[in-house]
Chain A
Amino acid sequence: MRELGSAVVLLAAALAGLVEAWRLPLGSAVAPGPGFFPLALAAGLAATAALLVVRAVARPPARPAGPGAAGGRARLVAVVAALLVYTAVFSRLGFVLATFLLMVVLFRAVESLRWPVALAAAAAAAVLGHLLFKTWLGVRLPSGPWGF
C-alpha cells in the first residue's frame, strides 16, 4: 500500500509538472528553450513513477514494518501544526513570546514534561535563543509590539 501510494503520488506530481512545463516555450533539441529541460525531466519522472507503480502492483512487498503507535501519529501532527502556527504568528508576536509558546506546546503536548519543567525550559529557550541568535549572531528576528 505504501509502495503503491507513494508511486501514485509521484506520478501525479510528475504529470502536473508535465502540464505546467508544456506552457513554456519549448525551443528545439539543438536550441532548447526554457521549457525543454523541465518537460524532459517531468517526462522522465513520469516514466520512472509509472514503472514504480507497475512494480508495486506486480510485486506487493511483504508486510512493511509495523505501523507506528497511534500516539506517534498524533504527536507527529501536533508538531507540524505547532510549527505552522508558530510561523503564522512569529512576526506579529515577536520572537521571544512566540518561541516561548511554541516550546511550551512542544514540551507539554508532545513529550509531556511536568508543567514547572516545561515552563522553565521554554522560558530559558526563548530568552537564550534571543540572546544567542539576535544579540550575538545578529539574525534579524522580528520584535513584537512590545519591543522583543
Chain B
Amino acid sequence: MDVFAGTVYGFSVAVQPANLLACFVGVFVGTLVGVLPGLGPVATMSLLLPVTFAMSPTASIIMMAGIYYGAMYGGSTTSILVNIPGEAASVVTCLDGYQMARQGRAGPALGIAAFGSFIAGTLGVLGIMLLAPPLAAAALRFGPPEIFTLLVLGFTMITYLGSGSRLKTVAMALAGMFLGTVGLDPVTGTPRFTFGTATLSDGVGLVPMIMGLFGIAEVLLNVEAGLKQEVFQTRIRNLLPTRQDWKDSAAPIARGSVLGFVLGILPGVGAIIPTFVSYALEKRLSRRPETFGRGAIEGVAGPESANNAATGSAMIPLLTLGIAPNVVMAVLLGAFLIHGVQPGPLMLREHPDLFWGVVASMYVGNAMLLVLNLPLIGLWVQILRVPYGLLFPLILLICVVGVWGVSANVWDVVIMVAFGVVGYLMRKAGFEPAPLVLAFVLGRLAEESIRQSLLLSRGSPAILVARPIAGAFLAASVAVIVLPVVLPRLGALVTALRPGGGAGGSR
C-alpha cells in the first residue's frame, strides 16, 4: 500500500463512529490532564490501560495517542494563565506566555500556542506517513545487534534528558536499568531479586512505578508546598493572533516543527528537550533577544510547536521498530501488547488498519483540539479554578484505582506508594524520574538483545561493529558523547585564532 492509498484507507478507518468517539475522548481527556497540574499524560494513559480491554485495538491506540498530543495543547493553557506548567513539556511556555498574559495578551498567547501546536502536529503526522513505511522496510533487517546498538544510542541521549546535573541523570539511568533486571532472567528464567515473592517475579510493574513517580510524587510535592493556583483574572479576548503576531511567529513555528520532529524521533529525547532547544534557538536568532522572558510571542510559538511535532515523530520508532523512545511511548507499547499486537516492522503489513487508522486519527484529533482549545478555552479556565484541596484526593484515588485495575494486587498499590515517596525525595534532592523510567524500559530490552547477539556470534562482541547498521549506531553514540565536548573548544579555538576575534558577535 503506497502512502496515498494508505492515507485514504486510514481516514476510512478513523471516521468510523467508534474510532471517532475514541479520538474525541482521547483528546478531551488529554487536554484536561494537560490543563491540570500534577496529572500528566503518562499517569493518565497508564490509568486508562485497563479500560481499553473492552475496546478494539485500533480505538484503544487512537484514544491513547490522543491523550498524549492532547496534553501538549492543554499544558500550554496552564503555563500561560497560571505560570505553572500544566505538563512537563510546557515549562518553557511559562517564560513568555505568562508575561504576555500579564500584559493583557493572554488571548494571542493561547491562540498562537494552539495554532502552532496544530500546524506542528499536522506536519508531524505527515512526517510519520512519509517516513514510517521506508523505515519499517529497513527495520525488517534489524536483528539483536542492531537493536542493542540503537538502544546504546538511546542511553547516551538519556544523559541529556535531565535539566539538572549530568551525574545525577546517569545515576538515575543506571538505577532504572538495575530495577529492570528484577524478575525472571530473560534468557535462562532464573529469578532475580524477587525475594521469593510472586509480585516481583514478573518484575517491577511499569504502571505502579509511573503512577508513583509521576502521579503520587507530584501530589506530595504540591500538598507540602500548599499549592495555590492563581488564575489570571482577566477576560480572555483576541484569541486570533494579529497579522503582526503571525509575522513574528511563522518562522519560529516552522523551525520549532522541524526541530521537534527531528529530535523527537531519537530515542531518549521525548517532548521536553525540543522545547528548550527551540526557545534557545529563537532567542539566538531574534533581532530583539532582550524581549525574551518579557512576553515575546516567538518564545511561545517555537516551543509549543516543537513539543507537538515531537509527539508525532516519537511514534515512529515505536511503530517501525517496536522500541519505545520515551516514557509515554512505553505506556503506548503496553497498550499494543495488551491487545496482542507487537508494534514493529511487521505491523504495517499485518495490521494496516491499525497503523494507517491511528495516523489518520491524529489529523482528525489535531483538528478537534483546535476547536477544543480556542472556542472552548473558557471551559478549561473554569477547571483551573477548582481548588487543589478538592482535586488532589481525587488524583490520588485515580492513581490507586489505576494500579489496582491492571493487576488487582494490593502489593502493586504498595509499590506505587513507595515509588511516590521515593519520587518525592528524588525531586527534593534534584534527581529526575524520567531517565529512571526510560532506562527501566529500555534496559530490559538491551540486556536481552546483547545476550542474544552474543549467542548469535558465539561470544564475539565484534558482531556489534561488523554489521554496518549496528556499527553506524555505535559511531553515532560515540559522536553524541564526544561532539558536545569538542565543539565548543573547537569554536573557541577558531575565535581565538581569528584576527581581532575575542568576544565575537560576528556570524
Contact = CB atoms under 8 A, between A and B. Distances in A.
A83 B450 CA distance: 40
A45 interface: yes
B223 A110 contact: yes
For chain B, the bracket of interface size reads: 35 or more
Interface string B431-452: 1000000000001000100110
Contacts of A113: 389-390
B213 to A, nearest CB: 15
Contacts of B175: 10, 13-14, 45
Interface string A42-83: 101100110110010000000000001101110110011001
Contact of B54 (A111, A125, A138): A138
Q: Is the interface of B mostly helix, strand, loop or mixed?
A: helix
B461 A30 contact: yes
B192 A38 contact: yes
B396 A34 contact: no
A45 B174 contact: yes
Given A5-B429, A80-B417, A103-B397, A69 B226 contact: yes
A91 interface: yes
B293 interface: no
Contact of A83 (B185, B389, B417): B417
Contacts of B134: none
A125 B408 CA distance: 21
A2 B429 contact: yes
B123 interface: no
B171 interface: yes
**Residue of B167, B175, B178, B414 ringed by the most chain A CB atoms within 10 A:** B178
Interface residues of A, number: 62
B51 interface: yes
If over half of A's interface residues share one DSSP class (helix, strand or loop), that class is named, otherwise mixed; here it is: helix
A102 B224 contact: no
Nearest to B190: A34
A14 B54 CA distance: 42
A2 B428 contact: yes
A139 B49 CA distance: 11
B9 interface: no
Nearest to A2: B429
B501 interface: no
Interface string B181-224: 10001011010110000000000000000000000100110011
B400 A86 contact: yes
B425 interface: yes
A24 interface: yes
A72 B414 contact: no
A76 B167 contact: no
A125 B394 contact: yes
A42 B178 contact: yes
9 contacts: A2-B428, A6-B426, A6-B430, A45-B178, A48-B167, A72-B226, A83-B396, A111-B388, A139-B405
Given A20-B193, A75-B226, A91-B410, 10 more contacts: A17-B178, A34-B185, A37-B181, A38-B193, A41-B178, A52-B167, A73-B224, A83-B216, A83-B417, A106-B396
The 9 closest A-B pairs by CB, nearest first: A111-B389, A30-B459, A6-B429, A106-B393, A72-B224, A34-B185, A34-B190, A139-B405, A45-B174
